[in-house]
Amino acid sequence: MHEGKTVFAQLMDWLPKYELTKCAKRYGGDFHVRSMPCYEQFLILAFAQLTYRESLRDIETCLRALGPKLYHSGFRSRVSKSTLADANEKRDWHIFADFAHVLIAQASELYADEPLGIELREAAYALDSTTIDLCLSLFPWAKFRRAKAAIKLHTLLTLRGNFPTVIILTSGKVHDVNILDDLCFDPGAFYIMDRGYLDFARLFRMNQDGAFFVTRAKKNTRFRRRYSHPVDKANGVRFDQTVVLTGFNSHRQYPEAFRRIGYRDPVTDKSLVFITNNFRQPALAIARLYKSRWQVELFFKWIKQHLRIKAFYGTSENAVRVQIWVAIAVYVLIAIIRKRANLPHSPYAVLQILSVTLFEKTPILHVFTQHQPISEPPDCHNQPCFPGFLTGQ
């Protein structure tokens, strides 16, 4: 029989606490700390993410109202607004970034064999960024334009499990394509990007590393066709060509041949042209693979709607980074629990169920078995809808 522990305490038991202790020791996070060590700071911020608290005062009031339940949930000291504010501002954000990457590594192993919806054995990643707008008067360190502040969340999302594997936080001024210089590409893996990442010098480096890229072509790209491959136009594929660049600078940056694929969406009648350095996959598979890039857009939409990353508990750069990394850790923790507990619920359903049951003293798996999973329709808004992709046909 289950006794004593709240759902929140059972949820935090899934965390590798020793890894967070190692991260804290690496950056001196708990050195000469009398109250609120790194682990407790993480618990408080995780509670704020799971229950969507709006401010430090809101966090303090809610946690103090729990009384004896607070101790049974893992909190060992009195929650103070000022102490939490100081910890967010002064404690190195790298502690929580490193810990989030530990969880990401665990999730990557769990989802390594997750089906993609298309026949593809290789790893596949979607790369994109989202901008988080800030108030310039409150966040002067994040100046983006003359009267605007912003930060960018550059994310490499694995399509097996739909969780981030690499996250880079920059100011809003950093162009997306520059992030390609900071990534290490896995040989044989697919990297799906939009046209904002089209830089032939960087794509050629990816090709030299043995990785495959899939992106959209620009209309003004000058090329010469070497060969046209046969296609089945009934599937929407218009052409499949082997081409080389003819522009002086572009040919010098990418001297080898690559593949150019045209596709017409029968639903919207929109024509799309893709380029890739992979010559083995069928043309329709490349088109379907690019369609899966939409998962990174859904990830950004999900975390902005259901996690606390648009309004911040502190105004310093360190406090903002701490909050974002804890939010990412909570998202990945939900993915780990869904996989290990074999839950049929969506991440949204898991988050909603936890938000109203965190301090009940009930076995955590029993909490989910009491709620039937709700099937959520795929979000096809403003994206190419390729026939057969969602059904795997």
Q: 287-345: per-residue pLDDT in tens?
A: 999 989 999 999 999 888 888 888 899 999 999 999 999 999 999 999 999 999 888 88
Sign of CA dihedral 360, 365, 370, 376: positive
CATH class of 198-281: mainly beta
- Give the residue-averaged pLDDT of 345-364: 87
The pLDDT score that the predictor gives to residue 178 is 94
Q: How confident is the model at residue 352 (pLDDT cuts 50, 70, 90)?
A: confident
Q: Across residues 2-19, what is the average pLDDT?
A: 86
pLDDT value, residue 234: 87
Band (pLDDT 50/70/90 cuts) for residue 380 is very low
pLDDT of residue 382: 45
Mean pLDDT (the chain) is 88
Question: How confident is the model at residue 317, as a pLDDT?
Answer: 94
- Residue 131: pLDDT band (50, 70, 90) is very high
Strand 148-158 to strand 143-145: parallel, antiparallel, or no bridges (unpaired)?
A: antiparallel
Pairwise pLDDT comparison (384 vs 329), residue with the higher score: 329
Between strands 212-216 and 271-276, the pairing is antiparallel
* Residues 6+ positions from 110 with CB-CB distance below 8 Å: 161, 335, 336, 339, 340
Write down the residue that tokens 């599937």 correspond to: 235
Burial level of 2, CB count in 10 A (0-12/13-18/19+)? exposed
- Is residue 25 very low, low, confident or very high in pLDDT (cuts 50, 70, 90)? very high
- Reported as a single tens digit per residue, the pLDDT across 201-219 is 999 999 999 999 999 999 8
Q: Which of 241, 167, 180 is nearest to 208 (CA)?
A: 180
Q: Report in angstroms the alpha-carbon separations of 370 from 9, 334, 374.
A: 19, 18, 13
Domain residue limits, the chain? 198-281
pLDDT of 388 strictly over 50: no
97-106, 236-245, 276-285, 341-350 — which is least confidently predicted?
Answer: 341-350
**pLDDT for residue 309:** 87
Which of 279, 283, 228, 290 lies closest to 261, judged by CA? 283
Q: What is the pLDDT, as a whole number, of residue 1?
A: 40
Look at residue 361 and tell me whether its pLDDT is greater than 60: yes
Least confident of 61-70, 154-163, 368-377: 368-377
| Average pLDDT of the residues in 98-127 | 88
Tokens at residue 383, please? 């994206």
